[in-house]
Amino acid sequence: MTLSTKLISELEKLGLNPKSVEEFVELAIAEDLAGGEDVTSVATIKADQLAIAEYRVRKDGAVAGLHIAAAVLENSGILDYQILVNEGDRVAVGTKLIEAKGNTRSLLLTERTALNILGRLSGIATLTRIWVDAISGTKCAIRDTRKTTPLMREFEKFAVRMGGGVNHRLSLSDAALIKDNHVVSAGGVTPAFAAVKAMYPNIDLEVEVDSLDQLSEVIDAGADLVLIDNMTPDQCKQAVTIVNGRAKLEASGGITLDLARAYAESGVDYLAIGALTHSASVLDIGLDLRME
């Protein structure tokens, strides 16, 4: 499969790697066929029959993954389609997202794969938007984690962006994050910090601390981004005072939606929310088929 020039351009503008999308879609379709064919469609639908497929939202939410769904369509030879809303748009029940025309068998072959992708990514965008709205008006941003579905990280983090959130590192090589187990292994926060700075002096470095004493230690060592773990909003306020603008602060661990604003108003720069990707509910999206 080769994606259309137009779709490749649109994917690139969205910050998605067209090659990754293409490979992912091919694997997803291959998984659905398992080396065979769609036996139900082949038995019940004439090979040359044409139809129109309409992808519609069945629950209010924010949408993401429209252009990946388009890649699914193109994979099966469906090139006559329109994406009718923008990535990240808030949409109401009944909104038509995509309309596609083509071979009926091909449209049905793409149905479940496209809906799985749309539903999953739109669910993440919807949940992210809820968190972003909860802290609106503060300087704080909602940030994701690496708690993503294996092999779907690029797409799930894209969905976070479409929901108004910001991305943490995409991989272990993008940036360093010294966590508690690194601290134990290195013999302390300061030695761990020094070791990373010595080996990778130009890489972004974040340090996790679980006490205000540790915070002071890493700030004095020169940390410019600190993850403060499992602290209350009041402790976060104290952390902001200690740092006094010398570094950015990210609050993490046990943060619930009802406390999001309290954490954001403490003055921290980010809230790290793993639930955006590991606990988002699928947004209900369906496909309605009609004969051309």
Residues 135 and 133: their CA atoms lie apart, in Å, by 5
Helices then strands (H, E): number in the chain? 12, 12
Task: Measure the CA–CA gap between 182 and 191, rounded to whole angstroms.
Answer: 10
Q: Check if the beta carbon of residue 151 is closer than 8 Å to that of residue 25.
A: no
Q: Which residues are catalytic?
A: 112, 147, 179, 208, 229
What does the block give as tokens for 210?
């679980």
Name the token pair of 82.
Answer: 């329109």
Are 267 and 237 spatial neighbours (Cβ–Cβ below 8 Å)?
A: yes
Phi/psi for 157 (5° steps) reads -70, -30
Classified as helix, coil or strand, 284 is coil
